[in-house]
Chains A and B, each alone.
Chain A
């Protein structure tokens, strides 16, 4: 069964008097366990596609299926539940909740899911250890470096074993060492936990980790290569 199936996906934005095409009749199928990179210049539609797949944005037309669920027709509450149970997000700007510690940020999704305090604390500590942040559980985001914050965001995205992780330019604000470490982590999680990864990037080194590379331009898929 495919993890994601998009059919004739269209999305436009209005900027002043100008209509900008975000997605132009995109057809895409991503299988469970794939490690996919979306590449292309700024404005090519990578982020728009990720947002549509993640249910953060609604397409103007077309269909998006996640397993058996047609997510483009879900109402806001059901979309929130779907994201909560099935999708992990990693954003370009680390996007942690500043009033919560690293461990609390990781626990947040599990708290909303209703996981018991004991279990979520155990899982959060384990995943923080896995991403190399052991001993930093009680630090607030402002007390962590950019790379450390992004690792907390990754830990939060994967801690409840989602079916799909959507990462939008996850290495954009990281140095090369931190980027390599993060991508190694993604590859490992993909391999060991069969989590499907869809990553948008400009970075050639990140593309090197992908097993499938999709090129985009002007809202269209212009290439789709398996490496």
Chain B
């Protein structure tokens, strides 16, 4: 171990000083590595923020991280496929689960009619108190007010639907649906609020009223379509899911957001793969510069390599020395690149306004504010890829240096 330490000190001294023989070349390479690493981390943070936003929007539209419902409800969202409001052990577990928010809701197909037009809609009976955490709807109200209690008699519709119905805030509309016995149920509602969704398509179809009001309309007192749970982080819902699944009575179906929406699940699962591919692509561009720098550095001192071979340095130590030189270059570049990335991402974490391209982004489910998400995982990934691939890329020039014929190397001018 002592011998290795002494050899390591020798190699470190040689590598460090060799690195600074040509300031300009080393400086250019450091700049390239730093910018490459910065681009890896900065763009990953933007991508991560965008995908997070898309996932959050998608989950809000489901809504919720976990849903409990009748086993047939997702395939046939009919009022017949309703479930009893939570009670007994399930209610106890819901209250003690530590979940951020839970609520019940009713969801049925309905028809809405104004004085001039009629449209098909999704009619949602909600608990207004919980909606801020579940769908974020209260924040989207652009005119009027949001629903206030579970017994509120008003109705909230989207701006697009109001336009289609040629109606407005304060006007009355008639809503028609079917009760469990297939009898027509209808009722007049006053429009108390109009919302603007981040995804305009939703404005046209989702119409909200209070849960108890809808129960009365459909004659399903004490019954709901779904129990919705929202946890702190959509990525870490497994423990809550396990707890809730065990407490759910037989005959009910408990599902996570990724079981309900396979598109969102695929997006979530592919994100890490995207990041890795992105990081590797940038590295490949960098690797040409790195190999070129090392090859030039070796080419400049062939004679010196012949000398250290003649003096008794084993070929393996020559390989280590060149690799150490490469590692030092990479570590300095990484330190600069990481610092740049943190310095540029942190100020943007409060939100980056991309409203100039909001229309196009909205089609992908992304809002007009982008919140870059700098994660330790992505930084570790970028740094690991650069170090591991950087060292692998350096092996060939290092091996070629160690394989030089000492006599020829010593006679090189």
Q: Is the CB of A99 within 8 A of B18?
A: yes
* Chain A hits for B10, CB < 8 A: 108, 111-112
Contact B304 A97 (CB under 8 A): yes
Cα–Cα, bound, A83→B314 (Å): 10
Inter-chain contact A115/B304, CB cutoff 8 Å:
no
Chain A residues lying within 8 Å of B310, measured Cβ to Cβ, are 54, 56, 83, 89, 91
CA distance A51 to B306 in the complex (A): 12
Interface-facing stretch out of A26-34, A74-82, A195-203, A215-223: A74-82
Which B residues from 357 to 413 make CB contacts under 8 A with A?
406-407, 410
Given A91-B410, A99-B18, answer yes or no on A109-B312 (Cβ-Cβ < 8 Å).
Answer: yes
Residues of B within 8 A of A (CB-CB), count: 27
B307 close to A115 (CB less than 8 A): no
Is the pair A77, B316 in contact by a Cβ cutoff of 8 Å?
yes
CB distance from A117 to the nearest CB of B (A): 8
Within 8 A of B (CB), among A73-117: 76-77, 80-85, 87, 89, 91, 95, 97-100, 104, 108-109, 111-117
Majority-rule SS of A interface residues: helix
Other-chain residue from B6, B311, B315, B316 in contact with A84 (beta carbon distance below 8 A): B311
Q: Which of B1-60 contact A (CB under 8 A)?
A: 2-3, 6-7, 9-10, 13-14, 17-18, 21
Structural contact, B406 and A84, CB atoms closer than 8 A: no
- Give the interface SS of chain B, mostly helix, strand, loop or mixed: helix
Contact of A112 among B2, B307, B317, B406 (CB under 8 A): B317
User: Do B315 and A112 touch (CB < 8 A)?
Assistant: no
Residues of A within 8 A of B307 (CB): 91, 95, 97
- Asked if A114 contacts B7 (CB within 8 A), the reply is yes
Known contacts A91-B307, A98-B304; can you find 10 more A-B pairs with CB under 8 A?
A54-B310, A82-B312, A83-B310, A99-B14, A104-B13, A112-B7, A112-B311, A112-B312, A114-B2, A114-B3
Q: Please name 20 pairs of A and B residues whose Cβ atoms are closer than 8 Å in the assembled complex, sorted by A.
A: A51-B407, A56-B309, A56-B407, A80-B312, A80-B313, A80-B315, A82-B312, A84-B311, A84-B312, A89-B310, A89-B311, A91-B410, A98-B21, A99-B18, A99-B21, A104-B13, A109-B312, A111-B10, A112-B313, A112-B317
